[in-house]
Amino acid sequence: MSSIKFFTAIVMVSLLATPIQAQKIDDWMLKKIDSSALNSIDYSKNIFENTNSIFPLLAKLYKIKHFSKENAVFVHIGDSHIQADVATSVIRNEFQSYFGNAGRGLVFPYQVGKSNAPYDIISSSKSSWKSNRLARIDTLITCGISGFGMLSQSINPEFNLELQSINGIRDSFDKVHLFMGGPVSELYLEYNDSQAENSCFSLSPDYSVFHLKSPTSAFHLTFPTNDSIRFYGASLEKNASCGIIYHSIGANGAKYSDYNKTKQFWKQLNKLRADCYIVSLGTNEAQDPNLTAEDFIKEVKIMVAKLRLSSPDACIILTTPPVSYYKKKNPNFSLEVITCALIEYCNSNNLICWDLFNVSKGLEGAKIWKKKQLLRQDLVHFSREGYVLQGNLFVDAFTKVWNEFLCKNY
């Protein structure tokens, strides 16, 4: 063999070997689902359906994994299951562990707003605030990007917000996006004991970004004013990091229709620049035994249209609701109606679907989850173990799509 032919052969072997090596390195090896939970689920159904629209997201994730200094933004929208941020914290941690941590994402001072908070968020205030969430009818206090809203009731309103350690790990941030309203003329953000950022505005902003001098895990925000201020949420991010921002937006009692009618939410949503929307709703709709599939899908269509308008290039994942009971008596049959309608809609419109209801074995599975105490006593919400299992199942389904993408393309 001539030296030229030998060199050409070596190059071809190298080129052919590179994708194989890349795929071997990049395979997402998630820890297996706990064997004790396997009889609570139908693992064969734990897949994403209609995945064509997810490939631009996967391509961006591949670039982030290898060379791109950018972020992929996930926005997970839901009800009380999402507000608790147990399942979504599992997803966030797994995604950020693999692709990189670009920030905690959207938070709200839930304790100040007198609502339950995720485990890693604590807030307090010496000021008086009134709050609202989008599942309530309250025209005086509008809700925004977090599904919540607060209205100040005293001069110079302020609050503290802090990220707590979870399993010995405390996240930090050095970039803060603030969502607010009312006659904001000045605000003062203090952090790390002695550092502060101050801004004055000629026109009242509804959104502002602060780049901090150093990383922190907490801030104290003050609005020096005699006027009433509205606050809707903050996104905590990392300036120099690339990877995943995973926003979880949940409000107790929320339905598709609640989000659809909340104008401030949609006005602010595009500021998150989502690459992927995940919508996990349906539990509260199913509390109406007279709900029809047509009425349910009508609201789903409205939300999908609004999501596409907000971020035209983002992929959309709709999840069927988890198992639960109706008034603690029997497994909720309306969930089966909702699930069948949602799957048919996704199949007809090429939308990605994750069928958590049937992964959890549907109506029969509700009895199993109850027996295993994965459901709480109200038989609608879940134990921590139940939510962790759901989070792991979602990541498992995503990794299957990711690894298949690697195998076919790299």
DSSP 3-state assignment of 410? coil
Q: Per residue in 67-108, pLDDT tens?
A: 999 999 999 999 999 999 999 999 999 999 999 999 999 999
DSSP 3-state assignment of 115? coil
pLDDT of residue 23: 53
Q: Per residue in 346-385, pLDDT tens?
A: 999 999 999 999 999 999 999 999 999 999 999 999 999 9
How far is Cα 240 from Cα 355, in angstroms, rounded to an integer?
A: 36
Q: What is the DSSP string of 174-200?
A: EEEEEEEESS--EEEEEETTTEEEEEE
Average per-residue pLDDT for the chain: 93
Overall pTM surpassing 0.75 (yes/no): yes
pLDDT of residue 22: 52
How far is Cα 324 from Cα 382, in angstroms, rounded to an integer?
A: 9
How far is Cα 342 from Cα 293, in angstroms, rounded to an integer?
A: 8
Residues in the chain: 410
How far is Cα 45 from Cα 355, in angstroms, rounded to an integer?
A: 8
How far is Cα 388 from Cα 325, in angstroms, rounded to an integer?
A: 20
Tell me how far the alpha carbon of residue 14 is from its chain's centroid. Answer: 40
Q: Per residue in 298-330, pLDDT tens?
A: 999 999 999 999 999 999 999 999 999 999 999
**81: closest CA among 266, 245, 196, 248?**
248
Q: In the chain, what is the straight-line distance between the N-terminal and C-terminal CA atoms, in Å?
A: 30
pLDDT of residue 241: 92
Count CB neighbours of 252 within 10 A.
Answer: 20
Residues of the chain with pLDDT under 50: 1-21
How far is Cα 349 from Cα 351, in angstroms, rounded to an integer?
A: 5
Query: How far is CA 213 from each of CA 174, 194, 218, rounded to the nearest angstrom?
Result: 7, 11, 13
How far is Cα 322 from Cα 374, in angstroms, rounded to an integer?
A: 12
Note the maximum CA span of the chain: 87
Contact (CB, 8 A) for 319 and 276 = no
Eight-state DSSP code of residue 240: S
**61: closest CA among 47, 77, 74, 51?**
74
Q: Which two tokens stand for residue 322?
A: 């988890």
pLDDT of residue 27: 80
The values of phi and psi at residue 107, to 5°, are -135, 165
How far is Cα 177 from Cα 106, in angstroms, rounded to an integer?
A: 9
| Cross-strand bridge partners of residue 276 | 74, 315
Query: Which class for 43: exposed (0-12), middle (13-18), buried (19 or more C-beta within 10 A)?
Result: middle
343: part of which helix (H) or strand (E)?
A: helix 333-349
Kind of pairing between the strands at 276-280 and 71-78: parallel
Tell me how far the alpha carbon of residue 252 is from its chain's centroid. Answer: 15
pLDDT of residue 28: 84
**326: closest CA among 278, 300, 291?**
291
How far is Cα 250 from Cα 81, in angstroms, rounded to an integer?
A: 7
58: part of which helix (H) or strand (E)?
A: helix 55-66
